[in-house]
Amino acid sequence: MAYLALHRGLSFTFDGFAEEAPAEWEDGEETEPEEEDGYEPAGFALETRADPPLYTPPARALPVLVQETDLLVRTDFGDDAAWASVVDRVRRGRGASMDVIEDFGEYVTFVDDPAFADATPEQVMAQVRPGPDPEAMISDTVMIADTATLREPGHPVRVVPLEDEVGDSFRVDAEVAGIMVVNLALGNMDLGDWREDDA
């Protein structure tokens, strides 16, 4: 799991650790980070959780997911009608009264590949690779349509952070998923703004 926490921003993580971690590098006296910094070594929060997320290799190799747009990956294949409803809700959003975007499908790639059947969030995120366009408007998350998504009212998709708060996940109703990824990509909002809906 530590690899998944680091693989998208490895150099930045090491730079930050070198600058802010407690060390005896210069004067031989250990220094402590400022309390308000809240700095911890990479992976600390994951390792100290009561239920740390664990990566287990899939039974078979999974396809690579190139993130040219935001991704919604289907991992439950038991109800095609429910999946179609999820896709429709993500595309339509909450309607024209919410914003000017009429079809969020332009910003989301719907991955309907049985190779991902029963894949865990960690297995999905391990397959995500940045797209070729560094200027592309993409959030630092991957969305998953799992069993709960297909079965529960509102079709809540699981949102898995890829850079900030790696190892945690939360759910948003399918009809707000499109506007969420657009606002995250633009930097208008952050993950905390959407976690409030995950009560």
pLDDT (tens place) for every residue of the chain, 199 residues total = 555 555 555 544 555 555 555 554 455 555 555 555 555 555 566 666 777 777 889 989 999 999 999 999 999 999 999 999 999 999 988 754 455 567 888 899 999 999 999 999 999 999 999 988 888 889 989 999 999 999 999 999 999 998 877 778 899 999 999 999 998 998 887 888 788 655 4
pTM of the model: 0.77
Contacts 24+ apart (CB under 8 A), 52-56: 52/1, 52/167, 53/1, 53/121, 53/122, 53/167, 54/1, 54/122, 55/1, 55/3, 55/4, 55/120, 55/122, 55/123, 55/126, 56/120, 56/122, 56/123
